[in-house]
Every structure is written in structure tokens, then in C-alpha cells.
Chain A
């Protein structure tokens, strides 16, 4: 696996960017992403698989809801992989999947509409 990393680095825009009910909380979600990325990466570095799994699970549940189905999909794939490795050491496949999730999050941040 790990070959499904998108070649595109274009900014990601929320499907709900123009939805007046959603615009405000989409921005809040984007604001929360840098810290989520940092926490996931540090959990990964520390080998805290259980913590990483929880963070990824939350991202999976959130992404699509805020209009980023690709984040949900990528986080779901990472979570499935993590579930099988709980308690064991680092694994390059997990790292690839994590960096795919992080890339999508950064693309979402980059796609934030100017306010």
C-alpha cells in the first residue's frame, strides 16, 4: 500500500464551503487541524499507537461531516491498519498512510477561503 498517495497537491475545498449553516464550523475545524496534525505526528514518534488510533478515529468521523470525504477515507484506511498493529512497533506502511492523512489535512488548510 502507500501507492495511493495523491499526486495532486492542490488545495482542498470543503464541499460545504458555501453552506451558510456550515461555513463557521468548517473554519473552526480547519483551525483545529494544525494541532491535530502535531498531536498525531508526536503520538507516532512516541510509538503511542493507542493514542494515535483515537485521534485518527476522531478525524475519520469528522472529515466527511465538514465536507472532506477524502480525509474520512484516508483516516479510515489508517485506522483499519492501526487496529491490526496495536502493541507492535512502527511500520512503514502506517507511516505512509499517516503522511497521506497529514497531506490531505494540510491541503484542506491551504484551501481555506479568505474571510
Chain B
């Protein structure tokens, strides 16, 4: 894989330029220098398919007239691949025949720029495609967000949790999962009404966002229950995070019921490396811990070690 300017800046949109001419890459680098974009480069059809699948750029600029696999074929393949089907493609071509344009749009191109590029036109067309791409991503993300708390929803949790467990097993990395449940939440709803209950859920979400790290994934699991996935986090560190959340919450005062504090029980299950536990089994362990924390008097963190893979597991089993 050959890429230029591979210094992706967090938050910058990434544009993949596919053209067999080095000049075109150089010209685009110069022309789009001030656009806060990261440019990726591919110089042939087959290479571009590999880069597009691995890097998932936000926009593709595609030359039609390339030796071997031409731009039309590249576009067909990108549109057949689930990983690249939604990436907007702007055609970049010296060819100006009406039929080429019709074919390109039929195949799913969003725009067409004729070489040599007009500077202003190039910039606004790329900017427009990037903006559309950002809106599409935002909509997709919204489908993963819980409307009341702004945290990720259960659907996102299910997908991410399976991925994280697979990653932990494959790369022998630590991983921890916490399930958090507001104590006696029903009585808050019954006593102070549902707006007060909703305020509590939003308040817990705020504490979660504030107290967990950038890499943690906080989700609303359902009802008054929350889940916190802590990738690359051993049980001891995860326990510190959970204890911080618990302690912060018990000191908060609530405008709709200043006389009533809110506490939370937390069940934590974690492993310091690869484990034989499935995503479901791990989740059950965290759930049992949570149940244990409730039974032990609430407002506490209960910790379970997920057994490691290997001889120790065989002995334990």
C-alpha cells in the first residue's frame, strides 16, 4: 500500500485520491493544502480498492482513465463492497464525453470534476461532498444514540461489546465491563414523578461522561441500567473508575428532590488478558456482580474476575 500524507489528524475528513498520475496527486496536495483534509493516495485500481477498504475515507476522488482497471471498474467494485458502498465518489477526469458522465453518475458518482481543475470549483465540490458525508455519518451515529441521555444505546452496546471481547481474546488485551443500576429508582419515579426520574437518568449519564476516560464506551443499557465498556483496562484500574463514579454520584444534590440522594450499584467483570468467556457469558458475570452488589446493601462496586484462558481455566472448570 502506498499512501502519501499519512498523518491523519483527529477529526479531519479523509479524501482518497485515485489516479495513476503522480502529478495529479501533487497538484491536489497543493490545491487542497488549506482545506483541513487528510489526503490519501492510490495509483492504480487494485491498490485503490485495498486502501479504500482499509482506510474507509470520507470522500474518494477517482480518475476514470487509468491503465489496467479503469475508473468505471473501480467504482463498480467499490459499490459492490459493503465497506465502501456508501463512500461518496467524485469523478476526476480529462474525458468530457456526455456518455462518460452519464455512466459515472449511473454507477453512483456524486459529482464530476474535469481536468485541469479550476481551483475554486475543485475546493467547493470537495467541500460539498465532505459536508454531505459528515451529515450521513451523523445520521448513522444518531441511530446508535439514546435520545434521553445522549449515551450510546443498547444496539451500539451489543455490537461494540462483541467486538471488544473478540479483540481482547485475539490480542490478549485486558478488558473490563461494568453494569450500573440506579438504586431504588422506581421509588424516585413513584414519589417525584417521571420528569424527576428522567433528570436522574440524565444526571447519571453526565457523571459517566465526566468520570470515564476518552477510550471508555458508556451506554444506556435499558431502563435505569447503564453499561460501561473499558477497553485495554485491567480489573484494578476499572475498579478505580467505577468507585469514582459511585462516589461522585452519592454526593450530588438533585434540584427536583433536594432531600433525596441518588446512589448506584455497580457490577464489574474484567480480565487482564485473553479469556475463554463469550461476550454473553461475560455480560452474565457482570450482571451477577450487579445483583450481588444490590443484595449486599446497594451503593457499592462488586468485582468479578473473568477466568483467563489456559490451564487455570481447565482447573477451575
Contacts and interface: CB of A to CB of B under 8 A. Distances in A.
B65 A57 contact: yes
Given A25-B30, A61-B63, A61-B115, 17 more contacts: A21-B30, A24-B30, A25-B27, A29-B23, A58-B23, A60-B94, A61-B21, A61-B94, A62-B27, A63-B116, A65-B23, A65-B24, A65-B115, A65-B117, A66-B27, A69-B116, A76-B94
Given A65-B115, A69-B116, A76-B94, A28 B21 contact: no
Interface in B255-297: none
B24 A25 contact: no
A44 B21 CA distance: 21
Interface string A64-78: 111001001000100
Contacts of B24: 61-62, 65
A58 B30 contact: no
Nearest to A61: B21
Contact of A66 (B20, B23, B63, B65): B23
Contacts of A57: 21, 65
B55 to A, nearest CB: 24
A22 B33 CA distance: 10
Interface of B: 19-24, 26-27, 30-31, 33-34, 63, 65, 67, 94, 115-117
Contacts of B115: 61, 64-65
A54 interface: yes
Contact of A65 (B33, B65, B116): B116
Contacts of B19: 61
Nearest to A67: B116
Contacts of B21: 57-58, 61-62
16 contacts: A21-B33, A21-B34, A22-B30, A25-B26, A29-B23, A58-B21, A61-B19, A61-B21, A61-B63, A61-B115, A64-B115, A65-B24, A65-B115, A66-B23, A66-B27, A72-B94
Contacts of A62: 21, 23-24, 27
Contacts of B31: 21
A54 B68 CA distance: 12
A73 to B, nearest CB: 10
B94 to A, nearest CB: 6
Nearest to B29: A25
Interface in A31-69: 54, 57-58, 60-66, 69
Contacts of B67: 54
Nearest to A58: B21
A66 B67 CA distance: 22
B93 to A, nearest CB: 9
Nearest to A54: B67
B30 A61 contact: no
- Sort A-B residue pairs by CB-CB distance and give the 10 closest, nearest first: A64-B116, A62-B23, A65-B27, A65-B116, A61-B21, A58-B21, A25-B30, A21-B30, A25-B26, A22-B30
A76 B23 CA distance: 16
A30 B130 CA distance: 33
A25 B33 CA distance: 13
| Most chain B CB atoms below 10 A, which of A57, A58, A61, A72 | A61
Nearest to A72: B116
A76 to B, nearest CB: 7
A58 B33 CA distance: 22
Contacts of A61: 19, 21, 23-24, 63, 94, 115
B205 to A, nearest CB: 46
A38 B145 CA distance: 61
Nearest to B33: A21
Contacts of B63: 61
A61 B20 CA distance: 10
A34 to B, nearest CB: 16
